[in-house]
Structure 1
């Protein structure tokens, strides 16, 4: 009977707590020591139907499924209270610079998803 019992919220928290030290060490390694994030930066993109019987691509909504550790690192590095929203201008410039370098034959990939409404409610 125990094998078919429903899971409980406490069991989820216990599993997360057991992983906490490893997750913390990995995140700190990436943020403080420049450890490679490539293995965690893997995202699966799936298509969710918007209607019951989709017939074309317009009837689907793409959803990205990111690794949880990657999300933790992204949130910690992106939304820090001492940063100004104008810092995003510098980020945008760097992105455009990277794209122009790619046109000149440089190799590399980049993806960026930004939602400024979640950053802060104030602008300095």
Structure 2
């Protein structure tokens, strides 16, 4: 599958940045299972309510999640099912590349990279 030439990579960069934070990726992974309230995310992920709310706002600004009110509760859900396919593709790519990405000297784990260089 060939990628379309994209003169402006900014949207792709923004998308991947929105997913690059471990907390946001954990939230997206949980939302892949279905709707959830902030209070449930805080319990399941062990994060403060303000942290979860901040990350949900970021994902909402990127139009990756949305919420619906039910009484006094808000339920969050993924808005784009394509995101799940992107994450599945990423998992496949990571499985195929082994530790190469994790040991990448630019973006990988600095401790693991230093250990492999020794």
Q: TM-score, normalised by structure 1?
A: 0.28
Higher Rg of the two aligned structures: 1
More helix by share: 2
